Each structure stands twice: as structure tokens, then as C-alpha cells.
Amino acid sequence: MTWVRAGTSALVLGAGAFVLGLCVSVLLGYPLEQSENGDIADASALVVFPLLLSAGFLTGLLLLWAGARGAFAAGDLTIWRKRQRGSLAACVIGGVAALFVVVAAGRPWTGLSPDARIVGLQLLVFASLLAFMIMVLLSAEGNGR
């Protein structure tokens, strides 16, 4: 089962790189939604948008951290299980941020366009599937299978 733990850690590591790449892409190419005058529609968007990006960067960094630490501990089950809890925390943070994007996209106080809802749905599904896969593997490993 060492190769399964190493493969899962590689998947978590790749997921972290994907989320960080997405955050950098959003940061560089996705300006805040602006009003007709060119001003930001609501000043609170200057707070909400950076908080969402910060949650995304935190998710990506936690996934990278958990994936790298898990890859180094793939040979020892107990250490690997402890290190993958960070990836579950990252999935929760990313899932909450993505759910917020889905619910609040299109409202002027967020600074997010309605198109951001699609990215939020994709990230919500991605975080949910990754968390489910990790939880299934952790429970299977705990039963001695």
C-alpha cells in the first residue's frame, strides 16, 4: 500500500499546484467587477475579493505542504495518516471559499462577476471529491486493508 499512499500524496501535491496556479491566474487576469463609471461597484469588494484569494492561496499552500510531507512519509502508515489531515483541512477551507463564490457571485459587494459562479462550482466539486477520496483511503488504511 506504500505506492497508494505515495500516489495519493502526489495527487494532493498536484492539487495544491493547481489551486495555486488558479489563484495566480485570477490575481493577474481577473479584475474586480467595476461600475459604469469605472469605479469599483462597492468598497466592500476591496475586502471580500482579497479574502477569497487569501483563502485560495492558503488552500493551495496547505495542499502542497500536506502532499510533500505525505510523500516523504509514504512508507510509515501512522505518520502518513497524521500528515494527510492537513490536506483535509485544506479541502474544507477551499470548499467553504468555493461555496461562498457560488452563493455570492454577481453581487456588487463581492466584486465577482456572475461568471465566477462556474469556477466556484468546479472548485467545490474538486475539493469535495479530493476530500472524499482522502477520507476513504484513510479509513481503508485504518482497517488494515
pLDDT in tens, the chain (145 residues): 788 888 889 999 999 999 999 888 888 876 655 555 556 666 777 788 888 889 999 999 999 999 999 999 989 888 888 888 888 889 999 999 999 989 988 887 787 888 888 888 988 998 999 999 888 888 876 555 4
- Residue 86 makes CB contacts below 8 A (sequence gap 6+) with 62, 65, 66, 69
Which residues partner with 34 through β-bridges? 40
Rounded distance between C-alpha atoms, residue 91 and residue 94, angstroms = 5
For residue 86, what pLDDT is reported? 85
- Alpha-carbon Rg for the chain, nearest whole angstrom, is 17
Number of H helices, E strands in the chain: 4, 0
For residue 17, what pLDDT is reported? 94
Rounded distance between C-alpha atoms, residue 44 and residue 47, angstroms = 5
Under DSSP, the state recorded for 110 is: T
Helices (H), 1-40: 2-29
Cβ distance 44 to 109 under 8 Å? yes
pTM of the complete model? 0.82
For residue 110, what pLDDT is reported? 80
For residue 106, what pLDDT is reported? 83
For residue 59, what pLDDT is reported? 92
